[in-house]
Structures are given as C-alpha cells and as structure tokens.
Amino acid sequence: MTTEAARPASLGRYRIVDVIGAGAMGVVYKAHDPHIDRTVALKTIRRELLSMQAAGEVVARFHREAKAAGRLSHPGIVAVYDFGEEESTSYIVMEYATGTALSNLAGDGRRLGAHDASAILRQLLDALEYAHAQGVVHRDIKPSNLLLSPEGRLKVTDFGIARIDTGRLTRTGTPVGTPAYMAPEMYLGESGDQRADIYSAGVVLYELLTGALPFEGATIGALAYKVCHTAHTPPSRRVAGLPAGFDRVIDVALAKRADARYANARAFADDVHQAATAGDSSGIGDERRAAALAATLPRGSATSISAQDVEGITSDLTTHVGPIARVLVKRALASSSDVHDLRRNLAEHIADESERRRWLERFAKG
C-alpha cells in the first residue's frame, strides 16, 4: 500500500500534493494541473494488484467509465477531466470537491427533518435526472458518495466510476455497489438501469428521514434476502410525526420490481417535494434549506477524540489497509466530531464487507 512518504511526485503532468484516501485497488490523490493552474483529484487503479487478464478488463472499463462520466457537465456532479496511464498505474483526473459527506449527517440513529431531507434529495435527483438523460448510470449511490458544501450545494462523486473500485471486477455478472444501497436486481448480477439509481436514492432518503437503513442483515446473504423479499418498515412508523406522504414515496422508490419504481428521477423528486410541503407554505427553497443545514455542521478537527483513541484506531486499521492507515486517520479527523464518527468514516476504507462489519462491531464492544 502506498504511504504518504512513498507517494509518487507526479502522475503524467499532474504534480501530487497530498493523499485524500485509499481503497482496495488504489489511492486518491490531491494534485495540481500546471497547464491550467488548478487543483484536481486523481483516482488511481494499481494494475499490479490484479492478475494480467483481470487488469486488462479493469483498465478498459476504467477508461470507458471515465469517457462516459466525462460527458457530464452539471453543478451537482463532480466533473471528470482526463484519463491517463503511467507504468503500473491508471488514473482518472477529477474535479477537486470539498464538503461534508452525507454519511456524517444521518445513519446510526442520526436523522434530518423532512424538509432538510427533501432539500438534499431533490438536489441528488436533479443530478441523476441529468446523468440518466445522458445515458450514464451511477450504480453506487450512497451517503459517502454525496458531498454537501458549506453553501448547501450537493455534489455526487464517482459518477460512472464508483463501481470500478469495488474489488469485484474479475467476473461478469457479479453484484456491483454497496450492499445496503443495492437494488434487488443488482444482487442477481444484472447490470441495472436508471431505476437501480432510483432505488439507491430511495434508501438514502429513508436513512435521512429515519436514521436507519430499510434493510440490515448479519451477512450479505441475509441482507440480500431481505432486500429481495421482505417489506420495509414504513418511515412514519419509525419517526413520529413524519408526513405520511413519505410512506408512499418510499414504497414506490424501494419497489422490488424495477418496473414498479419511479420511471425517472423527476417523478421521484416531484413526489418528495409534495410529501415534504404538504400543509407548508413557507416557500423556502431547497438550496436555502440545505445551506442552513450545512452552516450547522461542525468544521475543523475533532477535539473530543483522545490521542489514545487515535493510536488504537490507527493500529487496528493498519492490519486492514497497511501503513496508509495513519494518513487516512489524519484526514478523517478533520471531519469527525467524535470517536464514533471517526470509526464510521474510516470503515469504508476496508474493502471486504465482512471484515468491515467485524471491525465496527469490535470497537462497539470495546
């Protein structure tokens, strides 16, 4: 695993400035483009981690997805600028976007009010509507891929690219995505069309409204069974006083059959707006609400996390991701308000789902 000390000085014409994060197959760098004097993000794939046949398949798909995402130009989507290869590394050059991931706002009992959740989701659906019109499907919509800027602007990251970094690309017909947010058809190994994104956005809305996921399981198999066969609990039964209109919205968005879901993001957004504004005449717009919410988010370092906590978490994470753990912990501290947040933010860097779950459970018992 690449360490901060061993990071390359450059990739192509891009000068490496810092390490942003790391996954099972590569590292994401902050870099500088000297040709137009701007900061960019470089997402890399390390081909030496794959077999020769798998590497060719992954790089080809990586390039195709970069070309697809490069067609997108929307204020709610992180832009893709370039694709390159150098020695054993392939990389995609993207817009460098800052903000707080939605995973820091909701989940594990934390939730938003109906109007705030609606304001955020409608921005997501606006971006999805645009991308789907261009023939691009994300396939891994989840809170950690959604950034909320201090101004309240939502940006979708990894558009058309997220599925590359799952570590499950050596066979066709293999599920792609993050299990809790995957549509039923994705568990069957289908490629999934825009309605798979609709389902994932429905899970995000459910989590924003209730602080919980609609389906959970001790194993991937148990989760898959629930996603494909079990009815979810209506959000109004989880949260007293939640507008009942959201129950219908979630029912449609999380339909087991793709053809029973919203046909497009616009129809979904319209129903979300109607559910949130029933009986409300305030007239406050989505971006104003999102900006007000963003202004309440903590900025700066997590002073409530002790040095002992940091050292323990770093040591344990190192067994999963290698020496890069110290860099990841350093980065995550800036957006973590307590130890719970820090553990949650770091968990996504553990590629194996069962290892990630055990890692979180072990800390929860400690």
Same domain, 223 and 275: yes
The predicted model gives 138-150 an average pLDDT of 89
Predicted confidence band of residue 21 (pLDDT cuts 50, 70, 90): confident
Fill in the DSSP letter of residue 259.
Answer: G
Domain hosting 331: range is 307-365
Same domain, 257 and 360: no
- Judge whether 335 lies within some domain: yes
Same domain, 127 and 180: yes
Domain boundary, last residue among 95, 122, 138: 95
Fill in the DSSP letter of residue 232.
Answer: P
Domain boundary, last residue among 295, 326, 352: 295
Same domain, 241 and 188: yes
Mean residue pLDDT across the chain: 81
Distance, in Å, from the CA atom of 117 to the CA atom of 127, rounded to the nearest integer, reads 16
- Judge whether 277 lies within some domain: yes
Q: Which two tokens stand for residue 72?
A: 């997108």
Distance, in Å, from the CA atom of 248 to the CA atom of 271, rounded to the nearest integer, reads 9
In the chain, the number of structural domains is 3
Q: Is the pLDDT higher at 191 or at 151? A: 151
Q: Could you identify the residue written with the tokens 């305030």?
A: 282
Same domain, 268 and 123: yes
What are the CA-CA distances from residue 28 to residues 16, 23, 44, 277, 356 (Å)? Answer: 10, 8, 6, 40, 20
What CATH number is attached to the domain comprising 60?
3.30.200.20
3-state SS assignment for residue 89: strand
Same domain, 116 and 236: yes
Same domain, 133 and 245: yes
The pLDDT tens digits of the residues spanning 275-316 come to 998 855 455 555 566 666 666 555 443 435 666 677 778 888
The pLDDT tens digits of the residues spanning 153-202 come to 999 988 766 444 333 333 344 455 688 999 999 998 887 899 999 999 99
Distance, in Å, from the CA atom of 46 to the CA atom of 234, rounded to the nearest integer, reads 43
Q: Which two tokens stand for residue 62?
A: 């990586």
Q: Which two tokens stand for residue 128?
A: 């999805």
CB 140 within 8 A of CB 177: yes
**For the whole model, what pTM was predicted?**
0.74
Contacts of 261 (CB under 8 A, 6+ apart): 195, 198, 199, 202, 252, 253, 254, 255
Instruction: Supply the residues annotated as catalytic.
Output: 140
3-state SS assignment for residue 178: coil
- Judge whether 301 lies within some domain: no
Same domain, 143 and 262: yes
Same domain, 111 and 82: no
* Backbone phi, psi, residue 91, to 5°: -145, 150
The pLDDT tens digits of the residues spanning 70-124 come to 889 999 999 999 989 888 788 999 999 888 888 888 777 788 999 999 999 999 9
Q: Which two tokens stand for residue 68?
A: 């697809």
Q: Is the pLDDT higher at 28 or at 166? A: 28
Same domain, 144 and 39: no
| Cα-trace Rg, the chain | 20
What CATH number is attached to the domain comprising 268?
1.10.510.10
Domain boundary, last residue among 271, 295, 319: 295
- Judge whether 82 lies within some domain: yes
Same domain, 73 and 135: no
